Amino acid sequence: MSTRAADIAWGLVFAGWLVAAASTLGALFFSEVMELPPCVLCWYQRIFMFPLVLVLPLGLFPFDAKVARYALPLAAGGWLVALYHLLLVAGWIPERAGPCVQGVPCSELQVQWLGFVNIPLLSFVAFSTLAALLVAAHFRSAR
Amino acid sequence: MSKKSKRNKSAREIPAATAPAAATAPAPAKSVSRKGLFVGAAIVLIVAFVVATLLYTSEKQESSRQLVQQNVEALASAHSPAKGPPDARVHIVEFLDPACETCADFYPEVKKLMAEHPGAIRVSMRHVPFHKGSEHVVRILEAARGQDLYWQTLEALFAAQDRWTINHAVHVDQVWPALRGVGLDQERVGREMNGADIATRMERDMADAKALNVTKTPEFFVNGRPLPRFGLKELRDLVNDEVRKPARGPGS
């Protein structure tokens, strides 16, 4: 791996950390400041997202070319839950198939901007970006 | 693949080790700048979070204050059960759900406040049955007013709340056993609880709660002022502040 490739890979993982940290703070803002109760699916996505804020820096200092090995599974797991949540919100999966028995129904949208941007979509975009960055970093490092 | 990258990495490190002075010099510099970038980004993110939080809460406070000003009539409570002198200096309007745990926790605190400032506080209760099945309990409460047993009923309900509210859902069959000691005429309550006037009062409470954006219970308005932030200390401060204010006309 050339120094340049390593630099690029480091930058990609760092960008991934930015995404994870911003998502985590955003999620905390929704629940703790705006006091929107997170639904069950949101909690599962949080379980995948929050650890990345701590795990990714461990791969950055010192740079670990294998960081994707342990970060990507989290990003992929979160991505799957986010995809499911997005389909639920879009109505492609019927609500009763969802795991929400009590509390906040996962199919209920609490926030909507510009008519289509909602929290599940933000989550899905964040996990997709994270996964893409980690995959890219992996191939950069492998070169 | 992983083996390969490991080998590459060590290959890169070997020349550095053999030529210490020349090759290692830039490495720490880069690492420092990376760390600087990381720490800088972390600080920016945290500062952004704090600023957004401050902006959001101050805006929210302002909008809830305006909302109350625009909906003063929604705070009216002539139809609601009240305790304390009608001309009390401080009028607390509480929106509560009998099935809400925090409401049960706050009830003795409100009583304590009234005891601390005798004759200075009037409390009006507005009912917002947000919990599943709680409407039934509000109907009983409203019907208890006809027998002058509202406060006794409310206290008995709060005292035994964990027996008839399980997992935030009301177990209707467990409500009456909790009220055994109150002395309510159960038959009369059963007759009156589905009356039209009770339904009207309940609708009024819910509509006013909506107008004031009351989405959680308990919610307090002290002389028309919302709590700056939910909390017992905030309630006490607001009440003490209003009690200390110079005397004015009859409570709003």
Specify the CATH number for the domain of residue A60: 1.20.1550
pLDDT at A32: 87
Which residues form the domain of B36? 2-70
* Angle between the N-to-C axes of helices B2-18 and A119-142, in degrees from 0 to 180, rounded to the nearest 10: 60
**pLDDT for the residue B132:** 84
Query: Are B109 and B138 contained in the same domain?
Result: yes
More confident residue, A118 or A114: A118
Q: Please report the pLDDT score of residue B69 as a whole number.
A: 80
Do both B133 and B225 map to the same domain? Answer: yes
Which residues on chain B are in Cβ contact (under 8 Å) with A14? 34, 37-38, 41
pLDDT score of A114 more than 60: yes
CATH of the domain at B102: 3.40.30.10
**Is any Cβ of chain B less than 8 angstroms from the Cβ of A69?**
yes
The mean pLDDT value for A51-66 works out to 92
Closest CA to B187 of B242, B223, B146: B146
- Do residue B65 and residue B105 come from a single domain? no
**Same domain for B154 and B32:** no
Give the Cβ contact number of residue B23 at 10 Å: 14
Q: Tell whether B57 is within 8 A of chain A (Cβ).
A: yes
As a whole number, mean pLDDT of residues A93-120 equals 62
Of A29, A62, A141, the CB nearest to B49: A29
Domain that holds residue A69: 3-142
pLDDT of A1-27, one tens digit each?
577 888 888 999 999 999 999 999 999
Any A CB within 8 A of B53 CB? yes
Residues B51 and B116 in one domain: no
Give the residue with greater pLDDT, A31 vs A76: A76
Mean pLDDT computed over every residue of chain A: 84
User: Token pair 């991934």 is at which residue?
Assistant: A16
pLDDT level of residue A65 (50, 70, 90 thresholds): confident
- pLDDT for residue A129: 95
Q: Do B5 and A65 touch (CB under 8 A)?
A: yes
What's residue B7's pLDDT?
A: 44
Six-digit token string for B186:
């159960």
For the ranges A7-16, A63-72, A83-92, the lowest mean pLDDT is seen at A83-92
The alpha carbon of residue B26 is apart from the nearest alpha carbon of chain A, in Å, by 12
Which of residues B53, B70, B87 is at a domain's end?
B70
Mean pLDDT of A83-112: 66
Chain B, 169 to 228: residues with Cβ < 8 Å from chain A are 216
B222 and B101 part of one domain: yes
Give the pLDDT band (50/70/90) at residue A56.
Answer: very high
The residue written with tokens 């409390």 in the block is B123
pLDDT at B168: 79
- Identify how many contiguous H helices and E strands chain A contains and give both numbers: 4, 2
Same domain flag for B178 and B216 = yes
Q: Report how far apart, in Å, the C-alpha atoms of B2 and of each of A74, A134, B146, B176 are.
A: 19, 15, 79, 69
Judged by CB atoms within 8 Å, which residues 82-121 of A form the interface with B?
102
- Residue B142 sits in the same domain as residue B50: no
What is residue B24's predicted lDDT score, i.e. its pLDDT?
42
Structural domain total, chain A: 1
Tell whether B212 and B106 lie within a shared domain: yes
Q: Are residues B141 and B30 located together in one domain of the fold?
A: no
User: What ipTM goes with this model?
Assistant: 0.80
Is residue B251 included in any domain, yes or no? Answer: no
Instruction: Classify residue A32 by its DSSP letter.
Output: I
Per-residue pLDDT of chain B (252 residues; tens, 9 = 90+): 444 444 444 444 444 444 444 444 445 566 668 899 999 999 999 999 999 999 998 888 888 888 888 887 788 778 899 999 988 999 999 999 999 888 998 999 999 999 999 999 999 999 999 888 889 999 999 999 999 999 999 999 999 998 888 877 888 888 888 888 888 888 999 999 999 999 999 999 999 988 888 888 889 999 988 888 888 898 999 999 999 887 655 444
Residue of A35 and A14 predicted with greater confidence: A14
Using a CB-CB distance cutoff of 8 angstroms, which residues of chain B are in contact with residue A142? Answer: 1, 4-5
Q: Who wins on pLDDT, A128 or B227? A: A128
* Residue B167 forms contact with A (CB below 8 Å): yes
pLDDT at A77 over 90: yes
Q: Write down which residue in B10, B43, B70 finishes a domain.
A: B70
Establish, for the pair of chains A and B, how many residue pairs have beta carbons separated by less than 8 Å: 54
In sequence order, the 6+-apart residues with CB closer than 8 A to the CB of A75 are A16, A48, A52, A127, A130, A131, A134
How many domains is chain B partitioned into structurally?
2
Residues B153 and B47 grouped into a single domain: no
Judging contacts by C-beta atoms under 8 Å, the chain B residues touching residue A24 are: none
For residue B54, give the chain A residue with the closest CA.
A33
Provide φ and ψ at B130, rounded to 5°.
Answer: -75, -25
CA distance B43 to chain A (A): 11
Q: Mean per-residue pLDDT for A56-62?
A: 92
B225 and B155 belong to one structural domain: yes
Contact A65 B9 (CB under 8 A): yes
Are B45 and A1 within 8 A, CB to CB? no
